[in-house]
């Protein structure tokens, strides 16, 4: 059948099972938006307040559902406003397809109004970027974009379409996409055997899970491996929820703001099994001394990650879920009571702790956990509040903690929370932000209220750029250069002005009632929680130091 390029875009989205897209219209993408208007019963479009909010929403939708997130933007500044969100998705391996439209073919390369080579701009921060100059190739390109986004190591793909291509007509043939199968081509039996022997011989193994374990859906296999072989488990920021935070074998996060139990345990282990983790600098600290007493097994779908940051003794390349299935079949249950007892002693000696008097970031997170019973989707911005949310909320399932790990994008959370809520309408979704982060994209509160969205926005308000100020306190002799905000923005009034409910919390005693009300109201609520400017995230490892050198407030006195 004959179709325009714009019609083909919509039909291809429907083929891929896309029911929700996020975006902001403009001149060059009007043909696609006109088709969206005709298909609003099949594809729901969420109009965000800014294109950056749209790409973060697509990212949050993808992280929380496991599906591909889709966003739309017009040419020029519309397209370039997606760049930070695309880079965020690339760093954390999130499947997003961004569809932009450009000026017509005769205007390309002539510095036309709102023209930019967006495919070239995003080339270093996508798995692939396309510009479609022939309408006959449009359907094939969009279909390929979805396969690329979700196959192997997931990631973002951009498809740029000149406006005249969206109006051009060509023959379109419907297509039923085949499921993308887990990547197993490079899984070698000798690597499986090598890893199994190393695990059998180990007396002090430690399991370290990252975002790849979430992407592959390997949580059941990870838990089976740990429980059957009595292996303690730590995680990265991206690996939250793969292993339950309530499990007795769980030791807390690893790295710069990880627990002392995890950092010391990994330092003492004789075998580290890393599953879908890229050994970020924020995790390993000084690479020369990281897990220096251990042999390392690295399981990852991306061969480029092997030996990139840490030299390993055994590697298995492929889908983590399939690899762990095969490993579990080869390994019989065993006892490691002495090792587990040592880990329990570390956990007892070095628990996470914080100041109990007054309202604090950790107190806010613990109360959120208590009232949601660990069943909410927690989204964060980046900074102190992000670390508190990682430390003090116990994540029982994957895809319930959404945060910008690799790029560290301030302003990520609110858009991502909107995406998560659209993908999980029956879940409580809470975005935890610092006041500095919230100010960056707080305009998306208007998006939430426009869509009558039950969403809780917690502002951990300390009137400073908390994490940067913490570094200035500890390493820059208290020279607070441009980190003290103390502005006159009233977040409660701002929430009300955008159609949300605003609640201010100034004491620890007010907190339970305020959170309960926010949940009960079932609407968009902003909780403005005032905490002390000097509250800090502990433990902490100085940048580049050994992870066992983690210190807390007691060590500073």
Give residue 556's pLDDT. Answer: 84
* Count of H-run helices and E-run strands, the chain: 24, 20
> Do both 524 and 452 map to the same domain?
yes
CA distance 463 to 452: 29
Task: Look at residue 287 and give its three-state secondary structure.
Answer: coil
> Do both 339 and 366 map to the same domain?
no
CB 92 within 8 A of CB 154: no
CB 161 within 8 A of CB 102: yes
Give residue 440's pLDDT. Answer: 96
Alpha carbons within 13 A on the beta-carbon side of 53: 22
> Do both 138 and 13 map to the same domain?
yes
Task: Look at residue 429 and give its three-state secondary structure.
Answer: strand
- How many other β-carbons are positioned within 10 Å of the β-carbon of residue 69? 33
Is residue 184 a part of any domain in this protein? no
Is residue 183 a part of any domain in this protein? no
Give residue 457's pLDDT. Answer: 98
Is residue 368 a part of any domain in this protein? yes
Q: Is 281 left (phi over 0), alpha (psi -120 to 50) or beta?
A: alpha
> Do both 315 and 340 map to the same domain?
yes
Q: Is 522 left (phi over 0), alpha (psi -120 to 50) or beta?
A: left
Active-site residue (options: 42, 113, 197, 201): 113
* Residue 400: closest CA among 420, 383, 370, 381: 420
> Do both 463 and 375 map to the same domain?
yes
> Do both 472 and 343 map to the same domain?
no
pLDDT digits (tens, 9 = 90+) for 139-160: 999 999 999 999 999 999 999 9
- Active-site residue, 163 included: yes
CA distance 446 to 147: 33
Is residue 121 a part of any domain in this protein? yes
**Where is the domain boundary, 128, 145, 171?**
171
CA distance 170 to 181: 31
In the chain, the number of structural domains is 3
Burial tier of 102 (Cβ tally within 10 Å: 0-12, 13-18, 19+)? buried
**Where is the domain boundary, 322, 349, 376?**
349
Residue 191, CA distances (Å) to 186, 220, 326 in order = 10, 21, 11
Give the list of residues 6+ apart from residue 142 with CB closer than 8 angstroms, or none.
8, 9, 12, 13, 97, 99, 159
The residue segments making up the domain with residue 339 are: 189-349
Active-site residue (options: 14, 15, 67, 114): 114
Is residue 136 a part of any domain in this protein? yes
Is residue 545 a part of any domain in this protein? no
CA distance 236 to 255: 8
Tokens of 438: 């919230």
> Do both 270 and 345 map to the same domain?
yes
Give residue 486's pLDDT. Answer: 83
What CATH number does the domain containing 479 carry?
3.40.50.970
Active-site residue (options: 11, 35, 51, 367): 51
- Active-site residue, 114 included: yes
Active-site residue (options: 422, 467, 498, 540): 467
- Active-site residue, 467 included: yes
> Do both 135 and 15 map to the same domain?
yes
Secondary structure string (H, E, C) spanning 304-367: HHCCCCCCCCEEEECCHHHHHHHHHHHCCCCCCHHHHHHHHHHHHHCCCCCCCCCCCHHHHHHH
> Do both 144 and 206 map to the same domain?
no
* Residue 45: closest CA among 1, 84, 90, 13: 13
Is residue 546 a part of any domain in this protein? no
pLDDT less than 50: residues of the chain = none
CA distance 551 to 47: 45
CA distance 547 to 266: 9
Tokens of 316: 């298995």
pLDDT digits (tens, 9 = 90+) for 339-397: 999 999 999 999 999 999 999 999 999 999 999 999 999 999 999 999 999 999 999 99
Tokens of 167: 């109006």
Active-site residue (options: 7, 16, 115, 163): 163
Give residue 557's pLDDT. Answer: 76
Is residue 177 a part of any domain in this protein? no
* Residue 269: closest CA among 8, 548, 28: 548
**Where is the domain boundary, 304, 324, 349?**
349
Give residue 404's pLDDT. Answer: 98
């Amino acid at each position: 059948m004959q179709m325009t390029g714009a019609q083909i875009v919509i039909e291809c989205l429907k083929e891929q099972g896309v029911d929700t897209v996020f975006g902001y219209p403009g001149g060059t993408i009007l043909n696609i938006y006109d088709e969206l208007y005709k298909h609003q019963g099949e594809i729901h479009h969420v109009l965000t307040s800014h294109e950056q909010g749209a790409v973060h929403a697509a990212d949050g939708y993808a992280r929380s559902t496991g599906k591909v997130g889709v966003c739309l933007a017009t040419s020029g500044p519309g397209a370039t406003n997606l760049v930070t969100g695309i880079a965020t998705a690339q760093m954390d391996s999130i499947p997003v397809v961004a569809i932009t439209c450009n000026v017509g073919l005769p205007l390309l390369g002539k510095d036309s109004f709102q023209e930019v080579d967006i495919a070239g701009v995003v080339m270093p921060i996508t798995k692939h970027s396309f510009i479609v100059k022939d309408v006959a190739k449009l359907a094939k390109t969009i279909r390929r974009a979805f396969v690329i986004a979700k196959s192997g190591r997931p990631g973002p793909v951009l498809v740029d379409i000149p406006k005249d291509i969206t109006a051009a007509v060509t023959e379109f043939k419907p297509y039923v996409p085949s499921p993308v199968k887990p990547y197993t081509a490079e899984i070698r039996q000798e690597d499986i055997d090598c890893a199994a022997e190393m695990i059998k011989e180990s007396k002090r193994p430690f399991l370290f899970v990252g975002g790849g374990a979430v992407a592959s859906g390997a949580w059941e296999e990870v838990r089976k491996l740990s429980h059957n072989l009595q292996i303690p488990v730590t995680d990265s920021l991206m690996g939250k929820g793969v292993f339950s935070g309530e499990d007795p074998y769980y030791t807390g996060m690893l790295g710069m703001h990880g627990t002392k139990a995890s950092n010391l345990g990994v330092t003492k282990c004789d075998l580290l099994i890393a599953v879908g983790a890229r050994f970020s600098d924020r995790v390993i600290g000084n690479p020369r001394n990281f897990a220096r007493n251990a042999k390392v097994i690295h399981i990852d779908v991306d061969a480029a990650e092997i030996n990139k940051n840490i030299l390993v003794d055994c590697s298995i390349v492929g889908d983590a879920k399939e690899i762990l299935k095969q490993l579990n079949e080869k390994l019989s249950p065993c006892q490691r009571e002495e090792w587990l007892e040592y880990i329990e002693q570390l956990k007892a000696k070095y628990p996470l702790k914080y100041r109990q008097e007054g309202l604090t970031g950790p107190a806010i997170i613990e109360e959120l956990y208590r009232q949601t019973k660990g069943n909410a989707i927690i989204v964060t911005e980046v900074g102190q509040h992000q670390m508190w949310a990682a430390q003090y909320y116990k994540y029982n399932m994957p895809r319930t903690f959404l945060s910008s790990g690799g790029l560290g994008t301030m302003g990520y959370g609110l858009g991502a929370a909107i995406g998560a809520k659209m993908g999980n309408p029956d879940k409580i979704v809470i975005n935890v932000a610092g006041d500095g982060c919230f100010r960056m994209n707080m305009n998306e509160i208007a998006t939430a209220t426009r869509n009558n969205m039950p969403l809780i926005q917690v502002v951990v308000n300390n009137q400073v750029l908390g994490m940067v100020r913490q570094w200035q306190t500890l390493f820059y002799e208290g020279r607070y250069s441009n980190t003290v905000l103390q502005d006159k923005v009233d977040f409660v009034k701002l929430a009300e002005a955008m159609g949300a409910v605003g609640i201010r919390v100034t004491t620890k005693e007010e907190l339970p009632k305020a959170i309960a009300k926010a949940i009960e109201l079932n609407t968009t609520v902003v909780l403005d929680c005032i905490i002390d400017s000097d509250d800090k995230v502990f433990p902490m490892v100085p940048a580049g130091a050994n992870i066992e050198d983690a210190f807390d407030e007691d060590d500073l006195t």
